[in-house]
Chains A and B, each alone.
Chain A
Amino acid sequence: MTDHTILRVVSKLLLPYVLLFALYVQFHGDYGPGGGFQAGVIFAAGFVLYGLIFGLTAVRRVAPARMIELVIATGVLVYAGTGVAAMLMGGNFLDYDALNPAHPSTGQHYGILVVELGVGMTVAAVMIAIYSTFAGRGRA
């Protein structure tokens, strides 16, 4: 679909807002609906849109397969690492109160934010990886 001017222009206009909306859903999940899972999928949808219009090679240039694989694992590590960090600071596993003993609710805020970031990273990377392996199979 690389030679459809209207599709190219409109998708280029839309893309920043798709990604921005994903980040909004990601970091505003404590206050509004949404969270890491939804944000990850929306973020990946931006890449899928880019891939549909500009081709898989363009997506691979932005997000190389190796990097995507790294992000998949990093997300889980970020989540579990938050739990370990809470343990190191004297609490239970995933007990965010321990992250800021003076203000437990602030600790909860940090904990939820970081944990949701981990979820978002893994989900977005897995979706992009699945899409690009599916789309890449046709040409081999």
Chain B
Amino acid sequence: MRGLFAAVMLMGIFSFLGASWMLLLDAPDVAFTEASVGAGISTILALATLALTTRKAKVPVRRPALPLLIVAVTGAALVYGTLDMPHFGDPEAPASNYPHPSYVERTEHDIHVPNVVTAVLASYRGYDTLGETVVIFTAGVAVLVLLRGSRKRRPTGRGEEDAG
């Protein structure tokens, strides 16, 4: 498929399906994030990129035999890995026992917040979330520095003297 517009749309649809899947697994917070970031903003940004570049992918020069082999082997390995995974809803699964269930029991007493996800995210694991916020901050600053820096230079042609 060479139509990049269709590829972007497929990516958005895939994200949306992922969100529905998370909802089925009783994880509305994750589903929310996936729907708004994956299906929403990412699609918009990918479309904005298409508007800046082109809608058609170039025809590859080489034959895709080796990449195809790598993808097939990786896919087979991943499928093989899922065979060992615990069954859906298994109470013995690590996902049901870690983080320790006492988070659920303690949250009501410690924090008085019904949404345990928020309690873990913002209070018990506050350091991690601070780190995440700094990561987003850094990503934003990096994009601003990269994209805006080159735009200023183009119309005036003065940037080269500044950089030189």
Smallest CB separation, B16 vs chain A (Å): 14
B48 in contact with A112 (CB, 8 Å): no
A76 in contact with B143 (CB, 8 Å): no
Rounded to whole angstroms, the CA-CA distance of A137 and B143 in the bound complex is 12
Rounded to whole angstroms, the CA-CA distance of A45 and B121 in the bound complex is 23
A130 in contact with B122 (CB, 8 Å): no
A37 in contact with B33 (CB, 8 Å): yes
A138 in contact with B129 (CB, 8 Å): no
A30 in contact with B114 (CB, 8 Å): yes
Rounded to whole angstroms, the CA-CA distance of A94 and B128 in the bound complex is 11
Question: Is the CB of B155 closer than 8 A to any CB of chain A?
Answer: yes
Count of chain B residues near A, Cβ 8 A: 46
B44 in contact with A48 (CB, 8 Å): yes
Of A44, A73, A108, which one neighbours B111 at CB under 8 angstroms?
Answer: A108
Question: Is the CB of A98 closer than 8 A to any CB of chain B?
Answer: no
For chain A, what secondary structure do more than half of its interface residues adopt (helix, strand, loop), or is it mixed? helix
Q: Which residue of A lies closest to B51 (CB)?
A: A138
Q: Which residue of B lies closest to A112 (CB)?
A: B122
> Could you say which residues of chain A place their CB within 8 Å of the CB of B36?
38, 41-42, 45
> Could you say which residues of chain A place their CB within 8 Å of the CB of B77?
none
Q: Which residue of A lies closest to B121 (CB)?
A: A35
Contact with A along B111-151 (1 / 0, CB 8 A): 11111011101110011011011101101110110011001
A83 in contact with B133 (CB, 8 Å): no
Q: Which residue of B lies closest to A111 (CB)?
A: B123
> Could you say which residues of chain B place their CB within 8 Å of the CB of A138?
51-52
> Could you say which residues of chain B place their CB within 8 Å of the CB of A125?
140
Q: Which residue of A lies closest to B152 (CB)?
A: A140
> Could you say which residues of chain B place their CB within 8 Å of the CB of A57?
none
Rounded to whole angstroms, the CA-CA distance of A135 and B151 in the bound complex is 12
What 8 pairs between A and B have smallest CB-CB spacing? A126-B140, A33-B28, A94-B126, A105-B112, A134-B48, A41-B36, A108-B111, A112-B122
Given A69-B144, A133-B147, 18 more contacts at CB 8 Å? A25-B32, A29-B115, A30-B114, A31-B115, A48-B44, A79-B130, A80-B130, A104-B110, A111-B123, A112-B111, A112-B118, A115-B122, A123-B136, A126-B139, A127-B41, A131-B44, A134-B48, A134-B52
Q: Can you spell out 5 A-B residue pairs with CB atoms less than 8 angstroms apart?
A: A72-B137, A94-B126, A108-B113, A123-B133, A140-B151
The interface of chain B, by Cβ under 8 A from chain A, is: 28-29, 31-33, 36-37, 40-41, 44-45, 48-49, 51-52, 110-115, 117-119, 121-123, 126-127, 129-130, 132-134, 136-137, 139-141, 143-144, 147-148, 151, 154-155
The interface of chain A, by Cβ under 8 A from chain B, is: 25, 29-35, 37-38, 41-42, 44-45, 48, 52, 69, 72-73, 75-76, 79-80, 83, 93-94, 96, 104-106, 108-109, 111-112, 115-116, 118-119, 122-123, 125-127, 129-131, 133-138, 140
